[in-house]
Chains A and B, each alone.
Chain A
Amino acid sequence: MPDSLWSQDSVIHARGLTKRFGAFTAVDGIEFDVAPGEAFGFLGPNGAGKTSTMRMIGTVSPVTAGTLTVFGLDPAHHGAQIRSRLGVVPQADTLDNELSVLENLLIYGRYFGLSWGESRRRAGELLDFVQLTERSGDKVEPLSGGMKRRLVIARALINEPEMLLLDEPTTGLDPQARHLLWDRLYRLKQRGVTLCLTTHYMDEAEQLCDRLVVMDKAKIVAEGSPRQLIERYVTREVLELRFNHEGGEAGDGIGGGGAAGLAGADRSTGEGADFDGQLAGLAERIEHLPDRLLVYTADGDATAAAAFERGLRPASVLVRRSSLEDVFLRLTGRSLVE
């Protein structure tokens, strides 16, 4: 689709979007569009440029170069106007510990220009929506992490935004709190609120996002729906073969090939050529990890059986569906990002 058409329909439209801090390039010429009502995700390791991108969309950080429009408006000139239609859930809670739960919402409503009465009405509804009504008069400090996040989401909704920007919304929350939050975000999406979020949780991206981009080292390295990304970058299934280290050749190394397999596993960082040889033709791609082999294949069970026939005797065999995590690791590598 031509650019001009996109920019008119898009809630966010970015071309060559760049953010530099001095000599450091945080975002390097990325391009994407977000359609109204869509749930769009930025996936990437720490330092990939997700938060910088979100801050530019939120018009709190000036664009260094390139084009960015939000609701068709230029953040450089219409920042306040864009922000009045946005809800922002920042990475840090930034709640006001000097105020009560309710007051945190009330004053935020005032910041958006609501009357006290309207602010109070919406705050009541929102506390209900995020299940915090009974904590309304409490101070913020003693709330649990999950409650604080819910309050931040309620706060972001006080201006009835057309789009919600969420920067790692569930980082640090326990599973119950995450699921409650996902449920609330899903309901918002159903009401037509556009969601734009960053995460490094693959399950979160798969749960919430219609479409996402994977960012790595300030650039977008892949774009598509979770399903499309899995199809494009990994196989349908992954066969995980684990070999015993301690047991030596005993136990699993029965067949001739098994012994070779064991040797290969022990030289984990090494060539692993023995495996590749034995599994040749069975898999699209094989990844060697210190303790196991990941065999990317369309049919895990069939591949496992074939490997068995060829004499491999792993200690354990696991067949699973490929996930975004596999895509993510494939694209951004396994080395630790500090």
Chain B
Amino acid sequence: MMAASTPEAARRGLPFGLTSHSSFRVLEHDLLVFRRGWHSYILSGLSQPFLYLLSMGVGLGYYVNRNGGIPGGVPYLDYIAPALLVTQAMMVASAESAWPLMSKIAWEKTYLAALNTPLGATSLLAGDLMWIAFRATLISVLFFAVILLFGAVSSPLAILAIPVALLTAMSFAAPIMAFTATQETDQPFNMLFRFGITPLFLFSGTFFPIENLPLFLRPLAWFTPLYHGVSLARGLSLGQIDPVADLVHLAVLIAFVAAGLVAARITFRRRLEV
């Protein structure tokens, strides 16, 4: 009985009872799955930006630029490229936080198998958050490569759009993971995407400035992390830095990630430790 307390105390000191290695084991699992289909991830990661930039940036942009263009005289391709990068990372991270997580919790129940090992609910959460961060980063890097190919950057700061996209992706992933852990079916996800994610993608300043939105809708955009991610990435990409506004953008994104993490930790434990 004496020896009982010491090994537990030997768990290395990360917060929330995480051991320093446990969540990386969960990430390893996801990377093992990734290894099987990495080429399809790469392929879709390259083809998506190519199609978007070609149709919207070049095709639609031709008419936008000829008809007065975006306020400030920025070419339409350059205007939407960083915004699309951020929204793509956000979309991928959101989807990954919904259905695949639901499968691990409720359909294939692989989480339940993992919980029979020394791993705990928080390790699973942290590991899968890292996996989603990995996917969002991969998507962003590939997207950025295609943007470079289109020559749609005007500042070396543009590369910072990648970490901004990652942060934006996680500001969606963490709250959605928290939500997923409370659900019994995937029905609500369809609603979430139809009435949440897709409208945000269209109206968060991605394709046109939110100043074009009806007055009563504009404050709504301020409360969505996507608007802040898009604005921040666009400013960096165009070399238009506004320190105060950018700090606000950053603060909002971090606040969403932090709130999502706290909520997810609670809902994961409530769901998995019963």
A interface residues, Cβ below 8 angstroms from B: 21, 58, 60-62, 72-74, 77-81, 83-84, 86, 88, 90, 92, 94-99, 103, 106-108, 110-113, 155-156, 159
Which chain B residues in 7-22 approach chain A with CB under 8 Å? 7-8, 11, 19, 21
User: What are the residues of chain A within 8 A of B1 when measuring CB–CB?
Assistant: 72
Cα distance, A99 to B8, chains bound together (Å): 32
10 CB-based A-B contacts, threshold 8 Å: A60-B273, A77-B8, A78-B7, A90-B112, A103-B32, A107-B28, A107-B29, A110-B28, A110-B29, A112-B118
CB closest residue in chain A, given B107: A97
Which chain B residues in 118-172 approach chain A with CB under 8 Å? 118-120
Contacts A72-B1, A81-B8, A96-B108 given; does A86 touch B116 at CB 8 Å: yes
- Please pick, from A80, A83, A94, the residue contacting B110 in the complex, using a CB distance under 8 A: A94
- Please pick, from A21, A88, A92, A99, the residue contacting B109 in the complex, using a CB distance under 8 A: A92
- Please pick, from A21, A80, A95, A108, the residue contacting B120 in the complex, using a CB distance under 8 A: A80
CB closest residue in chain B, given A77: B8
In the complex, are the beta carbons of B110 and A96 less than 8 A apart?
yes
Cα distance, A80 to B32, chains bound together (Å): 24
Contacts A83-B116, A94-B112 given; does A107 touch B32 at CB 8 Å: yes
CB closest residue in chain B, given A98: B33
User: What are the residues of chain B within 8 A of A58 when measuring CB–CB?
Assistant: 116
CB closest residue in chain B, given A111: B117
In the complex, are the beta carbons of B8 and A80 less than 8 A apart?
yes
In the complex, are the beta carbons of A78 and B28 less than 8 A apart?
no
Contacts A90-B113, A103-B32 given; does A83 touch B118 at CB 8 Å: yes
Cα distance, A84 to B119, chains bound together (Å): 9
Contacts A58-B116, A61-B273 given; does A72 touch B28 at CB 8 Å: no
CB closest residue in chain B, given A85: B118
User: What are the residues of chain B within 8 A of A60 when measuring CB–CB?
Assistant: 112, 115-116, 272-273
Contacts A99-B33, A103-B32 given; does A62 touch B118 at CB 8 Å: no
User: What are the residues of chain A within 8 A of B29 when measuring CB–CB?
Assistant: 96, 107, 110-111
- Please pick, from A78, A112, A155, the residue contacting B4 in the complex, using a CB distance under 8 A: A78
In the complex, are the beta carbons of A98 and B8 less than 8 A apart?
no
Task: Tell me, yes or no, whether B274 is within 8 Å of chain A by CB.
Answer: yes
User: What are the residues of chain B within 8 A of A88 when measuring CB–CB?
Assistant: 116
Task: Tell me, yes or no, whether B114 is within 8 Å of chain A by CB.
Answer: yes
Q: How far is the CB of B270 from chain A (nearest CB, A)?
A: 12
In the complex, are the beta carbons of B4 and A97 less than 8 A apart?
no
Which chain B residues in 36-83 approach chain A with CB under 8 Å? 36
In the complex, are the beta carbons of B8 and A78 less than 8 A apart?
yes
In the complex, are the beta carbons of B108 and A97 less than 8 A apart?
yes
Cα distance, A107 to B104, chains bound together (Å): 15
User: What are the residues of chain A within 8 A of B7 when measuring CB–CB?
Assistant: 78, 81
In the complex, are the beta carbons of A113 and B120 less than 8 A apart?
no
In the complex, are the beta carbons of B32 and A99 less than 8 A apart?
yes
User: What are the residues of chain B within 8 A of A103 when measuring CB–CB?
Assistant: 32
